[in-house]
Structure 1
Amino acid sequence: MPSFHRLGKLRLLALLALGLAAAPAVNAASSLPGAGVTVQATHDSTAETLFQTEIVNIGLEKLGYTVKPILPLQIPAMYLAASTGDVTFTASAWNPLQNAFFERVGGSSTLVRMGGLISGASQGYLVDKKTVAQYGIKNVEQLKDPKIAAVFADGGTKAKLIGCPPGWGCERAIEHQLTAYGLRPTVEHVQGDMAVLAADVIARYNEGKPVLYYTYTPLWLSQVLVPGRDVEFLEVPYTALPEPTDPSATTLPDGRNVGFTKNTIHVVANKEFIEKNPVARKWFELVSIPIADVNAENFQIYKGEKSSEQIRKHAEDWIAKHQAEVDAWIAEAAQAAKS
């Protein structure tokens, strides 16, 4: 039987071996450029924007940053919190749609807008094809006609335009256009949670009722009711947005003016954080997700995969499918620490 003295030596050797084995991992983690820095992402409170936010967070984790759970905020609060440093960044900042919120909290004096995380985000008003064919509706200006408005009025006196949540950039645009196009006497802007509004549009369509609504991409609604197949974009009489906008920016290649610009979704971050963290800045500038991939993931949310754990898995799966590209972005971002 081994002596207690010998057992003590064995335990000591075992502990030393474990410590030596763990040391490389600890040293490797502490040598990453983001080590010791904590980041806090926010998003616009919709499940659909968690996907891109998780992808950005995963890159930060690989660079050594400590990443807190994503904080949901309404859009104006999202920009305000980033400007004050209460959060580090958002990966759901639309440009130019949300520029007013960006400028309201100090613009480039408090925030930095980077990269092109998702390009080609579009918007517009749509009507089901059956109603378009039956009434010849092609332009929102036709809704000034009480007879046309009555088609979407559900027995009331005004057409119900299913629109945009309060406080969003699209709300500003829709409200501006209702006045500019003289639609207020005949059109009511129906507002609420975007997922609830979209579900209402689909339910009405499936019941065979006329639908009149605003939507944007990336969002799963346009994968359920496909423009050109199930619904059609309405034109506008002329470009009218809260900020002066060249009509060419709201006009499709086929010449139809749909009234809204294409947008790019950026990472917007606290300026002080960016000035101190060139590695994070480079990552924010490099990471890019095709809009088709975001639409596909959003459709998974529509089909029921909408828990935070499931969306995190969607992001991890996307990283795995684009591993070589992501690894190259990570490597390039890490080099920013040396410049």
Structure 2
Amino acid sequence: MILKSGGIAAAIAVSLLSTGSLPVLAQDAGATECGTDRTIDIAEMTWPSAAALAHIHATILDKGYGCDVAVVAGDTVPTASSMLNRGTPAVAPELWTSTIEDAWAEGIEAGSVVQLADAITDGTVEGWFIPEYTQAEYPELTTAEAVIARPELFADPEDPSQGRLYSCPPGWACELSTTALFEAYGMDETWNLFSPGSGGALDASIARAFTREEPILFYYWGPTAILGKYPAVQIDLGETKPEVYACNTDSACAEPAGITAYPSSPAVVGAAAWIQDEAPVVAEYFSKVGLTNAEISELLVYGDENQADAEATAENFLLTKQDVWTTWVPADVAEKVLAALG
């Protein structure tokens, strides 16, 4: 059951706290303060999971710790650059460092930024997927080779003599990598590589197949609402070969396409170094906030199904996943947050 904010939800929250029915909290109750008068600006990145996390943390720091908090627009490269050079924004709650690897490592070495935790504790996922029900019916379909050998199971609706692999929309980096793998596996004789045209069209194709319980082979990534909503299985593409992957995602690479699994990109809680120095309570909080890929995908399902924005998605998480986030904070902080949600 999804709780709605309001008097009833607040009453339930306060009742749970007073009776001790909430999960065991991280620390004993006590007066917990932010520890700094500086504004803690949190980067709201352009993708749904990072945006929701920004609002989750902003609410907890504001209502629970009494911090002066601002949620600001961000994206990987400009946010990291500003954090490294200007100390703002203070926190990026889901920073994918693979595209800024050298600069980020230099910033940590120089002491201008710190890495407080893994935002996604088991790493991001990226690759080719089939429905769980398809693999249950054909348990041998665990590897790319096994799936490729059965194009008739994944027949192209417009050309049933061929299988269909749903690729990425034009212009996305994953379009290059998926095309390269399609060529490296020699799939062109028995498969069609289908471009969905847009991210929304790709999602619609996946949703339609799952609703009808039809086989589908598709590229996707996580954490996302799609992988939270539909039980999909990632097929084995073998070992990850960074040099091959780098070539497969570079349109200027002259080498022939090679076979490699998609790497898992690290996603961390990045912060300006002053947070650790001036607000150790806040730094301690962020050291505990990691979520699994599945947990983040699950929280995104609410936003997808209800067409909710990042702020509403965050509020739903705080109301319905108290067993998760209350372990991040002292008891008095949890009580203040729950009361504020009313």
Q: TM-score range by the shorter chain?
A: 0.5 to 0.7
Distance 1:104 1:311, change over 3 A: same
- Tell me, yes or no, if the aligned pair for 1:166 and 1:192 is still in contact at 8 Å: no
- Tell me, yes or no, if the aligned pair for 1:164 and 1:214 is still in contact at 8 Å: no
2:91 corresponds in structure 1 to: 89
Local SS of the residue matching 1:216: strand
1:197 corresponds in structure 2 to: 202
Identity %: 13
Structure 2 unmatched runs, 5+:
1-30, 246-259, 334-342
- Tell me, yes or no, if the aligned pair for 1:112 and 1:270 is still in contact at 8 Å: yes
Which one has the largest radius of gyration?
1
Report 1:204-283 matches (<5 A).
Answer: 204-206=209-211, 210-227=215-232, 232-236=233-237, 238-242=238-242, 259-260=261-262, 265-271=267-273, 274=276, 277-283=279-285
Alpha-carbon shift at residue 173 of structure 1 (Å)? 5.6
Distance 1:202 1:36, change over 3 A: same
Q: Distance in 1 between matches of 2:195 and 2:113?
A: 32
Distance 1:173 1:303, change over 3 A: same
Q: Distance in 2 between matches of 1:315 and 1:282?
A: 21
- Tell me, yes or no, if the aligned pair for 1:118 and 1:291 is still in contact at 8 Å: yes
Tell me if 1:151 matches 2:155.
yes
Alpha-carbon shift at residue 261 of structure 1 (Å)? 5.5
Tell me if 1:127 matches 2:130.
yes
Q: Distance in 2 between matches of 1:215 and 1:270?
A: 32
- Tell me, yes or no, if the aligned pair for 2:226 and 2:297 is still in contact at 8 Å: no
Report the TM-score when normalising by structure 1.
Answer: 0.61
1:139 corresponds in structure 2 to: 143
Q: Distance in 2 between matches of 1:300 and 1:275?
A: 36
1:254 corresponds in structure 2 to: none
Report the TM-score when normalising by structure 2.
Answer: 0.61
Q: Deviations over 1:175-195 (max 9, x none)?
A: 664565455786637477655
Q: Distance in 1 between matches of 2:275 and 2:172?
A: 26
Distance 1:72 1:235, change over 3 A: same
Alpha-carbon shift at residue 273 of structure 1 (Å)? 5.6
Report 1:159-174 matches (<5 A).
Answer: 159-163=164-168, 174=178
Higher relative contact order (CA 8 A, sep 6+): 2
Q: Distance in 2 between matches of 1:319 and 1:144?
A: 40
Distance 1:180 1:79, change over 3 A: farther
Q: Distance in 2 between matches of 1:68 and 1:233?
A: 38
Q: Distance in 1 between matches of 2:213 and 2:50?
A: 31
Structure 1 unmatched runs, 5+:
1-27, 246-257, 332-339
Amino acid at match of 1:317: L
2:61 corresponds in structure 1 to: 60
Amino acid at match of 1:162: S
Q: Distance in 1 between matches of 2:299 and 2:150?
A: 40
Amino acid at match of 1:259: A
2:44 corresponds in structure 1 to: 42
Alpha-carbon shift at residue 108 of structure 1 (Å)? 3.8
Local SS of the residue matching 2:44: strand
Alpha-carbon shift at residue 300 of structure 1 (Å)? 1.3
2:312 corresponds in structure 1 to: 310
Alpha-carbon shift at residue 310 of structure 1 (Å)? 1.5
Report 1:6-85 matches (<5 A).
Answer: 32-43=34-45, 45-61=46-62, 62-73=64-75, 75-85=76-86
Alpha-carbon shift at residue 243 of structure 1 (Å)? 5.2
